Structure 1
């Protein structure tokens, strides 16, 4: 099956580890050239070395909270590879408190990273994506659709990212640029593994993953690879008529239609 990645160039933020790194690996193996982006150079070097055996990979150390960093990332990508076809906005983290416990600074930092970081990267990438069309995938979260108590500000940032995705898909469709968001549920990550080792170190990962208290109908926490599979599909030619969607990767744990 041809995913259409040969000759394509992708920029993936937050790609030194986790979902971003796994997605980069899948795209490289399918023939894409990938620019990895993160704030920590050590992890980027490690990721580049691991993935380079499969194809062309490079990296940029940058913080997407800075306007000039987004421009620098795209400039470096064009200088290195000559084009840009795919942008995956994956930079972010989880920060959740109750409304009365959040400072204005907390709100500003969360929105600056998760929402405006994607805005900055998309703005910088747009002139190049317009040349031949392409794909943007914004990572958000399932809880952005149904925010529970004590989930701020992250669920607000993620809900805003979904709204932005829908509007972008309508504005950019005329350039054959597809824009989608994947809404992440419980997926194995550094943060989840720390929680496992703190809460139940006596259990194996498989045992912890399948605990009833996670309330996942499919019965387990998802693997990083499973999230990357969906992102890789959405950025491929196989998804050439998919745009403006918010797709859950959550084992059916979400409650929104």
Structure 2
């Protein structure tokens, strides 16, 4: 399948590791120029060097905190100064913050919304004029699948992510006329640094494959997912192969969600 990503310019937030890094690597492998964004410059340099070793491409790195609007604007300005266009924005930055309702302070509510909701809003706000100028583009918002069915003690993260789903649908309606597609990928249990630390702490004597099956026994596909399984879907939605797909949210969760 031809993805049509050659010479496209893609910004991926939260891309120093995990799903964000794997997505940036995959987009670079498909011929896109990638912009890596995260708060930690040291880890960004490691990620950029790894992508260069794998693909020969030299990513632009932009250390930034997307919870701050002025830094979102700076990301877009540096991308335009370097590449002169923006075709793809993957809003992946975020952390897990899950507590009982009574334990969430006003400050935590605000910081979570600033990072996960307004980070996506502000990056898109500054990127879309350049996408429009270039004839269109693709925005992919990375959401937790629990945003669709929030369990107890999952605040504020599930609320911020649920807002991201509404944002995705509303933006797709407003921006479709400009050939800017907006979709979401809803992530379930995917291998990450946090899960690997849990594996090494809980079961250091078993292989990852054994641990994955044990932890994932309640998941219909019976295992924890891999980052490349998430990046495959993100890359497809970012690409020309998904040219008639907008305003949708795809679960990448091994079938664990109770809803479509």
With the shorter chain as reference, the TM-score category is over 0.9
2:21 match: 21
Task: Identify the residue that residue 72 of structure 1 maps to in structure 2.
Answer: 74
- Equivalent position of 1:166 in the other structure: 169
Match of 1:93 among 73, 92, 95: 95
Q: Which residue of 2 aligns with 1:105?
A: 107
Deviation at 1:179, TM superposition (A): 0.2
Q: CA deviation at 1:203?
A: 2.2
* Structure 1 unpaired stretches of 5+: none
**Which whole-Å CA distance do the structure 1 matches of 2:98 and 2:172 have between them?**
28
Partner SS, residue 169 of structure 2:
helix
CA contact (8 A) 2:87 2:131 kept: yes
Deviations 1:206-234 (A, max 9, x none): 11110166511101000011100000000
Shift of 1:103: 1.0
Aligned to 1:52: 52
Superimposed CA distance per residue, residues 143-194 of structure 1 (whole angstroms, 9 cap, x where no aligned partner): 0000011111111011110010000000000000000000000000011112
Provide closer, same or farther for how the CA distance between residues 212 and 67 of structure 1 changes in structure 2, counting only shifts above 3 A: closer
> Does 2:160 correspond to 1:157?
yes
Taking the aligned partners of 1:67 and 1:120, their CA distance within structure 2 comes to 6
Residues 184 and 250 in structure 2, CA contact (< 8 A), matched pair in contact too:
yes
Q: CA deviation at 1:204?
A: 1.6
Count of equivalent residues = 257
Which residue of structure 1 lines up, in the alignment, with residue 38 of structure 2?
38
Please, what TM-score do these two structures have when normalized by structure 2? 0.96
TM-score (normalised: structure 1): 0.97
Q: How far apart are the structure 2 equivalents of 1:197 and 1:146?
A: 29
Q: Which of the numbers 108, 120, 123 marks the counterpart of 1:121?
A: 123
Deviation string, structure 1 residues 222-256 (Cα, Å, up to 9, x no partner): 00111000000000010000100010000000001
Tell me how far apart the structure 1 counterparts of residues 257 and 151 of structure 2 sit (CA, whole Å). Answer: 12
Cα distance, 1:124 vs structure 2: 1.0
Range moving further from structure 2, 18-27 or 207-216: 207-216
* DSSP-derived class of the 2:2 partner: coil
5+ residue gaps in structure 2? none
